[in-house]
Amino acid sequence: MKTYCLEVSSDLACFTRPEMKVERVSYDVMTPSSARAVFESILWKPAIRWHIEKIEVLRPIHWITVRRNEVGAVISMRNTQEVMNKNAGCLGLNIEDERQQRAGLFLRDVTYRIHAHFELLPDAGENNTAAKFLDMFERRAGKGQCVNQPYLGCREFACDFRLVDTETTHPAWETLSAAEKTDLGFESKRDLGWMLYDMDFSNVTNPQPKFFRAKLENGVLHVPSWNSEEVRG
Amino acid sequence: MALKNRYDFVLLFDVKDGNPNGDPDAGNLPRVDAETGRGLVTDVSLKRKVRNFIGLVKGEQPPYEIYIKEKAVLNNQNKRAYIGINKAELLEGDDKKRKGGNAVEEARLWMCRNFYDVRTFGAVMSTGINCGQVRGPVQMTFARSVDPVVPQEHAITRMAVATEAEAEKQSGDNRTMGRKFTVPYGLYIAHGFVSSFLAKQTGFDESDLELLWQALIQMFDHDRSAARGEMATRGLYVFKHDNELGNAPAFSLFERIQPKRKDGVVVPRSVEDYQVSVIEDELPSGVTLEKKV
């Protein structure tokens, strides 16, 4: 299946580490699951599944911390139903009562190139051919069309996206300093530790996280295939 | 009427001698990107103002109730009747798979129908699979100032004290010192997006969209306080795509709105010191620019 490359960039990004999600701390680079979501925001049908192949990191890794007032409560299903049934009552949440101040450690000034292809699922049906989806994706991505604006980790970090040639080189890397190059795994691989690969939705009611050992090699994060041994649940 | 277009918008607003958004990490100083010196206003701060505005003008009545409230606009502690659920109507026009949906689905739709902020910005409900999130059609980003801002600290005095003990200590002098922070002037830009696909899922329609534009234009006029100084919306540029998916990349459209300091202005202190160049020539076909302000 043909591989496509999207160049995405944004002022800010937060690929939240699951172990530090109360006060959000981002992974150093984009996760495969959020890269998948970028492709899905442009084209997704139940007949296809996107697979991320590699993520190129074009800018040095910079951080910013932002503390915000957030709400700690979740809309209660039971209260909602009670009010619905009685046709009376009081819903709504006072932010002063449920306030949490949370800091976030986000990435800033990020640019990635994400390479991905899609797989046609076995139960796609006769009308859903690969060629049809290839056409649709090329048309949409080329024109900047999307179902919702893609974002880098959180919705407030909307990203710019461009469909680029997979073979083009990256002038951005040539301008990096030696320290920045080391940071991106030039010369010797940089181990990023265990990173979230994606959620396994095969059991829809109880999706399970899958992880893989992420390494930056010459600015590139190679993503193993979903069913490979490197991906652990 | 359901939305049939994609919209991308640019919001320009300014602040004069006020603190547009305090940073709890820095003792309530105005938020600043430490490396570039440009001021920041978070997405949630802007959405808070939209919610407050809607709560104010629509009087907290369905279908314009606000779920995430600030006490300042709270006025519904008394019980009152809700619109009954008309199940047939709920199921109409919705995704076929959801037809005959269970209680979760019904509750989700009911929340969307009653609460403007739920169907606009989305919400997390403890329902259904995968958190039962409602994704809203309206997506907003952090706002950033065009030029670096310099937060200023002002010491102020109060000619009174809070407690008897303090009064005794000062032997009747009764003064306390406080401090407030302002930005002398800052022009900020925020970007936003409206997805018609997500709008259909929450029932966000044309009239809701008009209300959103109105809120973005007028929200600062109803958010006066000692801390804010003078804030005002200075521009709302809406790119309307005649295609639901859109006709051009959003960021290529945003580049057409470029506020720049006028020649000779070293220190900007008012909106007059800026020239907003709007490139309207050769808009991609199928995209129209609406200048709301």
Q: What angle do CA B159, B163, B166 make, to 5 degrees?
A: 75
Beta bridge partners of B2: B205
Chain B contact present for A155, CB below 8 A: yes
pLDDT of the residue at A169: 74
Q: Are residues B200 and B98 in the same domain?
A: no
Pairing of strands B122-124, A190-200: unpaired
- The predicted complex's ipTM stands at 0.90
Question: B97 pLDDT band (50/70/90 cuts)?
Answer: very low
Let me know whether B248 and B284 are in one domain: yes
List, in sequence order, every beta strand (DSSP E) within A44-177.
Answer: 48-57, 62-71, 93-94, 99-120, 160-164
* Tokens representing residue A158 in the block: 């909307």
Structure tokens at A47: 């007949």
The CA distance from B214 to B222, in Å, is: 12
CB atoms within 10 A of CB B269: 11
**Is some CB atom of chain B closer than 8 A to the CB atom of A162?**
yes
Examine residue A119 and state whether it is found in any structural domain, yes or no: yes
- Per the domain annotation, does A188 fall within a domain? yes
- Same structural domain, B35 and B104: no
pLDDT of the residue at B59? 85
Report how far residue A43's alpha carbon sits from residue A130's, in angstroms, rounded to the nearest whole number. Answer: 13
Whether residues B64 and B111 fall in one domain: yes
Please check whether residue B165 lies inside any domain of the structure: no
Domain range for residue B11? 1-42+142-151+183-293
Decide if A68 touches B, using CB distance below 8 A.
Answer: yes
Binned at pLDDT 50, 70 and 90, residue B109 comes out as: confident
Within 38-67 of A, beta carbons closer than 8 Å to B belong to 62, 64-67
Judge if B88 and B189 occupy the same domain: no
Residues B113 and B203 reside in one and the same domain: no
Hey, what are A149's tokens? 């604006």
Domain endpoint, select from B135, B162, B193: B135
A179, part of any domain: yes
Which pLDDT belongs to residue A44? 96
Q: How would residue B165 be classed by pLDDT, with cut points 50, 70 and 90? A: confident
Question: Is A144 inside any structural domain?
Answer: yes
pTM to 2 decimals? 0.90
Residue-wise pLDDT for B228-244, tens only, equals 999 999 999 999 999 99
B284 pLDDT band, cuts 50/70/90, is very high
The CATH number covering residue A199 comes to 3.30.70.2660
Q: Closest Cα of chain B to A222: distance in Å?
A: 28
With an 8 Å Cβ cutoff, are B68 and A66 in contact?
A: no
Residue A205 touches partner B, C-beta closer than 8 Å: yes
| Banded model confidence at residue A26, pLDDT cuts 50, 70, 90 | very high
Q: What is the mean pLDDT of residues A157-168?
A: 92
Instruction: Please state, rounded to an integer, the average pLDDT across all residues of chain B.
Output: 87
- Give the count of domains, chain A: 1
Nearest of B133, B136, B123 to residue B201 by alpha carbon: B136
Express as a percent the part of chain B with pLDDT over 70. Answer: 87
So what's the pLDDT on residue B88?
40
Give the pLDDT score at B69: 81
Judgement on whether residues B98 and B221 belong to the same structural domain of the protein: no
| Strand, helix or coil for residue A109 | strand
Residue A108 is assigned to a structural domain of this protein: yes
Are B63 and B127 contained in the same domain? yes
CB crowding A115-141: b at 16 or more within 10 Å, else e: bbebebeeebeeeeeeeebbebbeebb
Tell me the residue length of chain A.
233
Q: Are residues B119 and B262 in the same domain?
A: no
Residues of A in contact with B96 (CB under 8 A): none
In chain B, residues with a C-beta closer than 8 Å to the C-beta of A146 are: 245-246
**Domain limits for position A59:** 4-68+103-232
With contacts defined as CB-CB under 8 Å, which chain B residues touch A84? 82, 85, 106-107, 110
Q: Which helix (H) or strand (E) holds A193?
A: strand A190-200
pLDDT tens-place string over residues B59-70: 888 899 998 887
Domain boundary among B75, B109, B135: B135
In this structure, what are the phi and psi dihedrals at residue A134, rounded to the nearest 5 degrees? -60, -45
Q: Which of B101, B135, B169 is the last residue of a domain?
A: B135
Q: Does residue B274 share a domain with residue B147?
A: yes
The mean pLDDT of B164-186, rounded to a whole number, is 88
On whether the CB atoms of residues A142 and A163 are closer than 8 A, the answer is yes
Q: Which string of DSSP letters, residue by residue, matches B205-237?
A: BHHHHHHHHHHHHHGGGG---TTT-EEEEEEEE
pLDDT above 50: residue A104: yes
- Inside any domain, residue B112: yes
- Centroid of chain to Cα A148: 14
Query: Is residue B5, in this structure, part of any structural domain at all?
Result: yes
Regarding whether B8 and B56 lie in a shared domain, the answer is no
In-domain check, residue A43: yes
Number of domains in chain B: 2
B210 and B270 part of one domain: yes
C-alpha B221/C-alpha B3 separation (Å) is 28
Whether A72 has a pLDDT exceeding 90, the answer reads no
In a domain, A74, yes or no: no
Average pLDDT taken over every residue of chain A: 92
Q: Tell me which residue in A88, A108, A156 faces B82 most closely, judged by beta carbons.
A: A88
All residues of chain A having their beta carbon less than 8 Å from the beta carbon of residue B249 are 143-144, 160-162
